[in-house]
Amino acid sequence: MKERIFLLLIIFLTLGTAHAQTREQKELEARRARLQQEIKQINSLLSTQQKERQNVVTEVEDLNQKIRVRQELIQVTNRQANLLNRQVNNNMKKIGDLRKELEDLKEDYAETIRQTYKSRSRQNRVMFLLSSENFFQAYKRLQYMKQYADYRKQQGESIEAKTLELQNLNKELIVQRKEKETLISENKKEQAALEKERREQQSLIASIRKKESQYNSQITQKRKETQAIDRQIEKLIREAIVESNKKAGKSTNNATFALTPEAKVIANNFAANKGKLIWPVEKGVKSKGYGEYSDPVYPAVKNFNNGVLIATQEGEKARAVFDGEVSAIIAVPGANKAVQLRHGNYITTYYNLGRIYVKKGQKVTAKTPLGEIFTSPSSGKTELKFFLYRDTNRLNPEDWIYRM
């Protein structure tokens, strides 16, 4: 009984491990497919913009983005190959164990057949029963003969099942080895592409350092624009809080919204959708994430991105990520326009719009077009900058938007 329990535990553990590996393999495959699609989108966007590009900062940022995504793809592919390697090794061990079991089964079965042959005479079986000392012993002998016949049948079925399992494992092993070879081949291509991009990056950085003043001028200009946008967004959020609280007859505190019961419901619904909000564009890729990042040419210089940048196609429209109300239309002097939406005490901002489709106070639903995203004539890039706040606190949009 102990041996059987131990054997069952081993079987369950083995099945559990195999199931976990299969699930992990599927997750890795889905992630790899998403990264491959992202690289295709990046290449498509860059090839469209290449003729228009005149800004060295943009060129370096584009290359950094491609390198980052390709590095992640290589890591995922490596994990897939390693997982397949473990599965191949496990299957090879199973095949070895099965072959040994099959040999033992066939040997036992052969011995059973030999014993049956020796006592094949019907007369011998009848005499075996008649020589019983009493009826109970005769009954036991009859049962033994029946069990012996069942055992022979069971042995035959077991050999058949083990043979089929062995054949299936061999087929699975062939498929896994081919998949592993394909992954290794793909990774070699990705590594070669990565090395080429790194060489391009180093060459570009070297050329930029020869024109340091031009690069510094572009960086300074971009930083000023970013700071002006951030200040304007936060100023309008505080004004919206004061205006909303005044209407509600509450304190004119400019740091937090005094929520009405209706606004609380909207805020709670918004919060419940963390990680599930739609993208603010129908098609696009994240070109720069939230938070601190190093300058691509001078890594010691740090910058902070209050939102996320999403690269998309020319003519693409920004869309609401959730139901809400237009709380402000922003026009930064010397820059482009933005739309601010309120969702209870959450604020989303969609910056770098050339045309606006909505008005202040307008109620919108998820996917409502807010405006057309501006395409830069100098870089040829069409990028939306997306911000997310709770009251006056900055939030990381990557935690809220689905698979960002």
Task: List, for residues 181-209, the tens digit of each pLDDT value.
Answer: 888 888 888 888 888 888 887 887 777 77
**What whole-number distance in Å separates Cα of residue 18 and Cα of residue 111?**
35
Of 131 and 361, more confident = 361
pLDDT at 121: 47
User: 297 pLDDT exceeds 90?
Assistant: no
CATH number belonging to domain 21-210: 1.10.287
Q: Could you give the dihedral angle defined by the CA atoms of residues 250, 251, 257 and 262, in that order, rounded to the nearest 10 degrees?
A: -10
Q: Report pLDDT for 123.
A: 47
Q: Which two tokens stand for residue 181?
A: 């070879």
Query: pLDDT tens across 236-248, in order?
Result: 899 889 888 888 7
| N residues, the chain | 404
**Confidence class of residue 51 from pLDDT cuts 50, 70 and 90?**
very low
Cα separation of 387 and 360, whole Å? 18
Q: What is the pLDDT of residues 326-360, one digit of tens each?
A: 999 988 766 789 999 999 999 999 999 999 999 99
The CA distance from 369 to 146, in Å, is: 79
Separation CA 86–CA 89 (nearest Å): 5
**Architecture of the domain spanning 232-399:** Distorted Sandwich (2.70)
Please name the residue ranges forming H helices in 55-211.
56-118, 122-130, 135-210
Give the predicted TM-score (pTM) of the model. Answer: 0.65
Q: What is the mean pLDDT of the chain?
A: 79
Q: Where are the domains of the chain?
A: 21-210, 232-399
Cβ atoms of 215 and 208 within 8 Å: the answer is yes
